[in-house]
Amino acid sequence: MSAPAVPASAGAPPPSGPEPHGSGSSGPSDGAVAGAAARPRRRLTPYWLLLPAGLWLAVFFVAPFFYQASTSVQSGSLEEGFRVTWDFTNYTDALATYAPHFLRSFLYAASATVLCLLIGYPLAYMIAFRAGRWRGLLLVMVIAPFFTSFLIRTLAWKTILSDAGPVVGVLKSVHILDVTSQLGLTGDERLLATPLAVVCGLTYNFLPFMILPLYSSLERIDLSLHEAARDLYAKPATVFRKVTFPLSLPGVVAGTLLTFIPASGDYINAQLLGSPNTQMVGNAIQKQFLNVLDYPAAAAMSFILMAIILIVVSVYMRKAGTEELV
Amino acid sequence: MDLDPQLYEGMPEPVRKAWERSLTSGRAAMSRRRLLRLGSLATGGAALAACGIPPAAGSRGGNEPEDTPDHSKKERVLNFANWPLYIDVDDKNKKKRPTLDRFMRESGIKVKYVEDINDNNEFYGKIKPQLAAGQDTGRDLVCLTDWMAGRLIRQGWAQRLDPARMPNAVANLEDRFRTAAQDPGRQYSYPWAGIACVVAYNKKATGGKKVTSVSQLLEDESLKGKVSMLTEMTDTVGMTMLDLGIDPEKFDGDDFDRAVARIQKAVDGKQLRRFSGNDYIDELSSGDIAACLAWAGDVVQLKLDNPDIEFAIPESGYRFATDDLLVPAKARHRANAEELINYYYDPKVAAELTAWVNYICPVSGAKAEMEKIDKDLAEDPLIFPDARTAGRGKAFRPMSDKEQARYENKFAKLIGA
């Protein structure tokens, strides 16, 4: 499929383009030669375009993936070195010890994703259809928190939610904290160091990842479809149910994935806003890797987390469908 | 393997061991494994098996002065990594550090001072890859807590210091710091400051109640959900051991488990709010945390800002550690580092530093100098403990690497991660 098809003696242009060369003597052989030169190039183009991303993935995903896979079946200690012993007890130990952490990660991330959707959808809808000339400004405001570091923003919540602070004061006086503590989300009349604080932190930190894809899929909806639906006597609720929401599904799927996946691996929120009883699997991995320095255990836990996410996401995608996920 | 005794004459035991280990599992062992890796990569299927993480002490840089060429004469610079808020700054201009600036002026050495140590293990994880690969970490002087300093020394990742270049340090180091278990004879490290772990509480948040023991932290109902302990295993477990009447200088595995079980009970009962690093300071001050384990130097500073903060040295004793300065293997400017250590062991400079940092000063003669600066501080038992208080401070005994890993693992599970 490559160059040998081009006889050098034919005087064809080197593969620089199919434009005619010389005078009008464009015989049939000439055209065939030009075509043969162009075809392989065109066929290769997609591969060239894939190259940067492919290299990136190979170096930063595939290689680490195999390295980690190997690490997860090693045993030993930092001082003596780790050797591959196909020691799968790393996996069973991790599951036995940290099952509650995995469960918590899944529950917290799922709750945060649902909250993000509930908060983000109306906002994205408003920006896409009702914001008029404020649209640009509102979008900037959605992204604005990213101008400050993730860590600083999470730390700020510690001050805002502090036990003697105004937020807790108001929630106490309207007895919302009684309700949440009945549900087991808070306890001892406080917000910090409770599961609720962790879920709220996750929701806050990942909200923009939900809003932006929702916005981009809502914004593309042709408004004449709304008109058509109304012409057919659909009530606003029906328009939303039959037209708007189905058309925004790609945004919903993309948004939930972009929220759920990073949230289930997050450890900053649980670290800063949680208590020893609300630690997620990310915290456990971080501790194993940086404090205990047991790399095989940390790698095995990362793999289990990846597997769980993969299963959850593929079940979800199967249900939600991805044909329209553009 | 047989070694000529002359080779290791005068070396302390742990150093000699590390050194021997490097000969048996050093470069030669490495390259054989590398060869193996290439071979099995070719066979494809076995590729996974060929990976593996070489021993930490596998390819060390050597820690004798002549092992690492020193560039101090040509390059008058020093990269100094320290913990945050661990050096004096000018009250008016936070960018000025009076003692360090004076050192730069007098010596002509430009010190690049970076506050990038937040946690011993975390920092170790950061510099370990370079150390294991026998590379310069880019830091000429680092400040690590005694047990971590000991780990680096054991693995041969610290350069031996030349006492002849540090007459102040040799003369002025307080006697009780000379026989540190992690570095007997102080060949590799000198203390920057001593840290006492005590109980601190916010009078307002406890309703005027005094909190004076670890038992109270773990069991007092009125503090439920408002207690924090430290993520530093040696401090949290060590303090609990003392409370149980166990000596952290000679505990065994069962003792450790007993202490952990005791804390676990408090975690399960939601008595403990969280385990924290230095960040307990804000919460203690705001009252979100009513009582906690705290580092004495922090408490001295906190008390100045918030009169509600009080501390107590438990009757059962307290945990004491030092943060030690050492020069990592392959660092380019050892002599410059020695010059800086020597400078900070001038009692006058030490007093000035301590007046700001408020941690325990390891320099004898500094107390007399402190009296000229601030009489109150010179009398503060958290900075210049009297002989009795000093005697109640207990170190955490050095652990073998295996023990350390096992204990850290148990502790990690305890703190919920």
User: Tens digits of per-residue pLDDT, A244-292?
Assistant: 999 999 999 999 999 999 999 999 999 999 999 999 999 999 888 888 8
Amino acid, single-letter form, for residue A86: W
Mutate to test the interface with A, among B222, B267, B288, B306 (most CBs of A within 10 A): B288
Q: From A282, which residue of chain B is nearest by alpha-carbon distance?
A: B417
Q: Kindly state whether residue A85 falls inside one of the protein's structural domains.
A: no
**Cα B273 from Cα A197, distance rounded (Å):** 13
Residues 142-181 on B with a CB inside 8 Å of A are 155
Inside any domain, residue A14: no
Residue A18 pLDDT: 43
User: Distance between CA B337 and CA B189 in Å, rounded?
Assistant: 11
CB A251 within 8 A of CB A217: yes
- Cα–Cα distance for residue pair B210/B222, rounded to 1 Å: 12
Cross-chain CB nearest to B121 (options A190, A267, A290):
A290
Find where tokens 């490097």 sit: B22
**Residue B333 has what DSSP assignment?**
-
**Cβ distance of A164 and B286 shorter than 8 Å:** yes
DSSP 3-state of B380:
coil
- The residues pairing with A21 across neighbouring beta strands, listed in sequence order, are none
Name residues 97-116 of chain A within 8 A of B (Cβ): 97, 101
* Residue A306 maps to a domain: yes
Whether the CB of A288 is below 8 Å from some CB of chain B: the reply is yes
Ramachandran region, residue A250 (left: φ > 0; alpha: ψ -120 to 50; beta: rest): alpha
Global pTM reads: 0.76
Q: CB of A193 within 8 A of CB of B225?
A: yes
Co-location of A135 and A241 in the same domain: yes
Minimal C-alpha gap between A218 and chain B (Å): 40
Spell out, as residue ranges, where chain A has pLDDT lower than 70: 1-41, 78-79, 321-326
**A51 and A183 inside one domain:** no
Q: Which domain holds residue A66?
A: 1-7+30-71
Do A66 and A95 sit in the same domain of this protein?
Answer: no
What residues in B contact A274, CB-CB < 8 Å? 274
pLDDT of residue B128: 86
Any chain B CB within 8 A of the CB of A88? no
| Secondary structure class of A150 (helix, strand, coil) | helix
Identity of the residue in A71, A78, A283 whose CB atom sits nearest the CB atom of B417: A283
In a domain, A19, yes or no: no
Least Cα separation, residue B226 to chain A (angstroms): 10
- Sorted by where each starts, the structural domains of chain B and their CATH numbers stand as 5-44 (no CATH), 67-188+327-345 (3.40.190.10), 195-320+400-414 (3.40.190.10)
Q: Flag if B53 and A81 touch (Cβ within 8 Å).
A: yes
What are phi and psi for residue B189, nearest 5 degrees? -145, 150
State the pLDDT at residue B333. Answer: 95
B55 touches chain A (CB under 8 A): yes
Q: Domain check: are A172 and A99 in the same one?
A: yes
Residue A31 has a pLDDT of 47
From first CA to last CA, the distance across chain A in angstroms is 33
Query: Which of A20, A39, A71 is the last residue in one of the domains?
Result: A71
Q: Do A277 and B270 touch (CB under 8 A)?
A: yes
pLDDT, residue A107, reads 95
Distance from CA of B53 to the nearest CA of A (A): 5
The span from the CA of B259 to the CA of B251, in Å, is: 10
The answer on A190 and A277 residing in a single domain is yes
What number of helices (H) and strands (E) belong to chain A?
Answer: 14, 2
Instruction: Write the CATH number for A212.
Output: 1.10.3720.10
- Residue B119: list chain A partners with CB under 8 A: 290-291
| Opening angle at CA B386, ends B382 and B392, nearest 5 | 80
Q: Please, which residues bridge with residue B319 across strands? A: B197, B394
Is A152 found in the same domain as A65?
no
What residues in A contact B225, CB-CB < 8 Å?
A: 187-188, 190, 193
- Residues lower than pLDDT 50 in chain B: 1-12, 14-47, 50, 58-61
Helix and strand numbers, DSSP H then E, in chain B: 19, 10
Q: Within an 8 Å CB–CB cutoff, is residue A187 touching chain B?
A: yes
Instruction: Inspect the interface and report whether the beta carbons of A193 and B52 lie closer than 8 Å.
Output: no
Is B277 at the interface with chain A, CB within 8 A? Answer: no
Asked whether residue A264 is domain-assigned, the answer is yes
A60 and A152 within one domain? no
| Contact yes or no for A251/A160 (Cβ under 8 A) | no
Same domain as A144, residue A62 = no
CB-based contacts of A232: which residues, under 8 Å, 6+ apart? none
- Could you tell me if A37 and A174 lie in one domain? no
Q: Which of B122, B273, B402 sits opposite A290 (nearest CB)?
A: B122
Number of domains in chain A: 2
Task: Identify whether residues A210 and A239 lie together within a single domain.
Answer: yes
Of B121, B267, B282, the CB nearest to A276: B267
- Based on the domain organization, do A58 and A180 belong to the same domain? no
Going from the C-alpha of B390 to that of each of A51, B177, B300, B317, B367, the distances in angstroms are: 65, 11, 17, 10, 15
- Which residues from chain A sit within 8 angstroms of residue B417, using beta carbons? 101, 267, 279, 283-284, 286-287
Q: Are residues A122 and A235 in the same domain?
A: yes
8 Å CB contact of A84 and B52: yes
* Residue B297: predicted pLDDT: 85
Residues A79, A100: Cα–Cα separation, whole Å: 30
User: Tokens 């004495």 belong to which residue?
Assistant: B296
Instruction: Look at residue A83 and tell me if it is in a domain.
Output: no
pLDDT of residue B51: 54
Does residue A23 belong to any structural domain of this protein?
Answer: no
Domain boundary among the residues A39, A71, A103 is at A71
Between the alpha carbon of residue B357 and those of residues B61, B192, B319, the distances in Å are: 34, 11, 19
